[in-house]
């Protein structure tokens, strides 16, 4: 989608951080933007920040818990009522839960999956039919993370859900390509946001079991100089929003903010190639028999 002016966009987790950066970028090119968030205080602050950026009245806001499927169905109607035909869906809401798999309990796991993975599917289920209905094409952006491509052992819950979002996005892209609907997996590295404030929104049904005994989440032990260096590698929410906007225009399969992670990505995929070895005859047979799985065209698209 190249011409985005006048197109409708819906962004979950849109009242702060990356989501608000997307809202600003979209509104600045004339899109009709609706944002949703679980926190009313963040929605109020977002409207103040949008007004300060000269975007007052150009972004609609609503409360939404992305894990509540009934509420999502009602939100789909509200989005169309406020923003007209929906063309861009950004499933951005998520929690940056920093827990290793060995220290997590059932409540931690269920909460991470409910928000980070089920929340994405709930958005697709509620709003993809609205994009399909007008027949004008569209685009879906699913916010994963660099932790959806590279593991970080102290955040196994987060890694598991974000790897799942990347796989979901790749499958959905192949599925929707014939309909003129693009799909991107957004894999940001460091972005200045409040994603680590996740415990403030933990529902009672996911109350942690023995959290105090398991200790606080992991932290980086960095000197002030190293923190300053790390800060230079992080993007602002506005920069991240502009990257997503360009990714939509380019129909990008992946959207990255952090090229400094390239060595890790190279190492991961080289490990896969080493494990596969070489057998060109078997490769050719597989391509002939299951072309939709082996050698998928979504990986061969021009950047």
Catalytic residues: 158
Query: Could you tell me which of 15, 59, 65 has the C-alpha nearest to residue 194?
Result: 15
SS3 140: strand
State the Cα–Cα distance between residues 164 and 292, nearest whole angstrom. 19
Segment holding 46, helix H or strand E: helix 40-52
Residue 129, beta-bridge partner list: none
Please count the CA atoms within 13 angstroms of the CA of 237 that sit on its side-chain side: 21
State the Cα–Cα distance between residues 243 and 257, nearest whole angstrom. 7
State the Cα–Cα distance between residues 135 and 284, nearest whole angstrom. 37
For residues 19 and 67, the answer to whether their CB atoms sit within 8 Å is: no
State the Cα–Cα distance between residues 144 and 164, nearest whole angstrom. 8
Q: Write the CA distances from 184 to 119, 171, 174, 243, 290, integer angstroms.
A: 16, 11, 11, 12, 24
For residues 74-104, one letter each, b for 16 or more C-beta atoms within 10 angstroms of the residue's C-beta and e for the rest, the string is: ebbeebbeebebbbbbbbbbbbbbbbbeebb
């Amino acid at each position: 989608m190249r011409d985005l002016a006048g197109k409708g966009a819906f962004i979950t987790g849109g009242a702060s951080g990356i989501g608000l950066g997307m809202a600003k970028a979209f509104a600045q090119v004339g899109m009709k933007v609706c944002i949703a968030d679980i926190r009313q205080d963040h929605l109020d602050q977002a409207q103040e920040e949008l007004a300060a950026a000269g975007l007052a009245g150009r972004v609609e806001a609503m409360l939404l818990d992305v894990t509540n499927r009934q509420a999502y169905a009602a939100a789909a109607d509200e989005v169309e009522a406020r923003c007209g035909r929906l063309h861009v869906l950004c499933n951005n809401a998520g929690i940056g839960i920093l827990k290793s798999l060995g220290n997590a309990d059932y409540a931690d796991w269920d909460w991470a999956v409910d928000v980070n993975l089920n929340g994405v599917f709930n958005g697709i289920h509620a709003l993809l039919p609205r994009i399909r209905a007008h027949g004008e094409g569209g685009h879906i952006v699913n916010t994963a993370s660099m932790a959806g491509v590279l593991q970080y052992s102290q955040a196994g819950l987060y890694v598991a859900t974000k790897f799942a979002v990347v796989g979901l996005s790749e499958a959905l892209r192949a599925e929707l390509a014939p309909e003129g609907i693009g799909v991107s997996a957004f894999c940001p590295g460091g972005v200045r946001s409040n994603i680590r404030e996740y415990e403030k929104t933990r529902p009672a049904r996911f109350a942690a079991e023995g959290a105090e005994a398991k200790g606080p989440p992991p932290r980086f032990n960095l000197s002030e100089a190293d923190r300053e260096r790390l800060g230079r590698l992080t993007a602002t929410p506005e920069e991240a929003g502009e990257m997503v906007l360009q990714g939509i225009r380019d129909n990008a399969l992946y959207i990255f903010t952090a090229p400094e992670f390239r060595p890790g990505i190279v190492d991961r995929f080289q490990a896969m190639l080493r494990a596969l070895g070489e057998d060109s005859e078997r490769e050719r047979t597989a391509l002939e028999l299951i072309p939709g799985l082996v050698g998928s065209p979504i990986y061969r698209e021009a950047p």
